[in-house]
Amino acid sequence: MILVFGSTGQVAQELRKILPDAQFLGRADADLTAPELCAEAIRAVAPDAVINAAAYTAVDRAETEEETAALVNGAAPGAMARACAGLGIPLVHISTDYVFDGAGTRPFAPDMPVAPLGAYGRTKLAGETAVQAAGGAHAILRTSWVFSAHGGNFVKTMLRLSETRDRLTVVADQIGGPTPARGIAEACVTIAHRLIARPALSGVYHYSGAPDASWADFARAVFAAAGRSVVVEDIPTSAYPTPAERPANSRMDCAATETVFGIARPDWGAAVNDVMKELRVND
């Protein structure tokens, strides 16, 4: 049996669909701001593997709430990893492209230097470091630009804005791989099962959608899939300031994930169409 931290997030909701026999722990069951309680929950359940699909993901708010984000994204995964190591079971932990500085145009490989630009990235990197330091079987799966039919994400924001606007300005100089939550969930399950059998496969892996695109490209694809006539005007990041700095280059080298686990990069365009069907959005 697999134990999942997270209940209402995008990846957790997709995990519910493919892991009907898993046990899910939401905020009421495991408060990630109290890391040791998360460890106690793992020891109480004694599962075959743990997937951590819970995180503090409010990138801008993290700039003023870094202490809380550090507990959820850094200390809690560390406590989970130590508990898993003590039981001899693997942990699959979801991380982010925000651990990189976004410099250049080359896709970031898992072993490239990390240099987060803001609080969110720093706290997620702290979680990675703590998971690795625990010494147990683990996979850190870095991903980017997550979307689904659930929760808050770029696809749903674009659809909401298009209800009242026929022209939108969208950042075009940040490039990355939009990633369907369903694909992340499936990857986590595959990796968890492989680690149960072969803990030596532990390490850091990347998983993001293909092909790489800008946010503006992503928006145009969303409107095309939804059948909405919305003009997208490309703008630079400088024209849309935010409290937290975003990496300009979120391209990720996912070759190791395919080589080791047989998991290829998902086609995000096809996934957008699937999300539209799930939302029943089509004009």
Q: Which of 161, 171, 154 is nearest to 242 (CA)?
A: 171
- Whole-structure pTM value: 0.95
Q: Which amino acid is at 228?
A: R
Token pair of 3 as six digits: 């134990």
Per CATH, the number for 2-214+238-279 is 3.40.50.720
pLDDT at 273 over 50: yes
**What average pLDDT score do residues 136-160 get?**
97
Q: Is residue 282's pLDDT more than 90?
A: no
Q: In whole numbers, what is the pLDDT of the chain averaged over residues?
A: 96
CB-based burial, 160-184: b 16+ in 10 Å, e otherwise:
eebeeeeebebbbebbbbbbbbbbb
Phi, psi of 216 (to 5 degrees): -65, -40
Q: Which two tokens stand for residue 94?
A: 């979801």
Task: Give the C-alpha separation, 54 to 44, whole Å.
Answer: 19
Determine which of 202-206, 218-222, 239-243 has the lowest per-residue pLDDT on average.
Answer: 239-243
Q: What is the pLDDT of residues 125-135, one digit of tens each?
A: 999 999 999 99
Q: Give the closest residue to 95 by CA, choosing from 206, 250, 210, 247.
A: 206
Which pLDDT score, from 0 to 100, does residue 27 have? Answer: 87
216-240 pLDDT per residue, tens = 999 999 999 999 999 999 999 999 9
155 CB-side CA count, 13 A:
29
pLDDT range class, residue 136, cuts 50, 70, 90 = very high
Residue 152 identity (one-letter amino acid): G
H/E stretch holding 170: strand 167-171
Q: What is the pLDDT of residues 33-82, one digit of tens each?
A: 999 999 999 999 999 999 999 999 999 999 999 999 999 999 999 999 99
SS3 of 204, please? Answer: strand
* Cis status, amide bond into 199, omega within 30 of 0: no
With bands split at pLDDT 50, 70 and 90, how would you rate the model's confidence at 283? very low
- Is 272:225 a contact under the CB 8 Å cutoff? yes
Residue 186: both structure tokens together: 């499936």
Name the active-site residue from 56, 98, 120, 205. Answer: 120
Residue 116 has pLDDT above 50, yes or no: yes
Average pLDDT rounded to a whole number, residues 101-107: 97
Question: What span, in angstroms and rounded, lies between the C-alpha atoms of 97 and 198?
Answer: 26
Q: Six-digit token pair at 234? A: 């490309």
Both tokens of 223, joined, read 């409107």
Return d(Cα 171, Cα 246) in angstroms, integer: 11
Above 80 in pLDDT, residue 203? yes
Q: Please say if the pLDDT value at position 268 is more than 80.
A: yes
Active site residue 98: no
pLDDT at 281: 60
Rounded to whole angstroms, the Cα distance separating 97 from 113 reads: 12
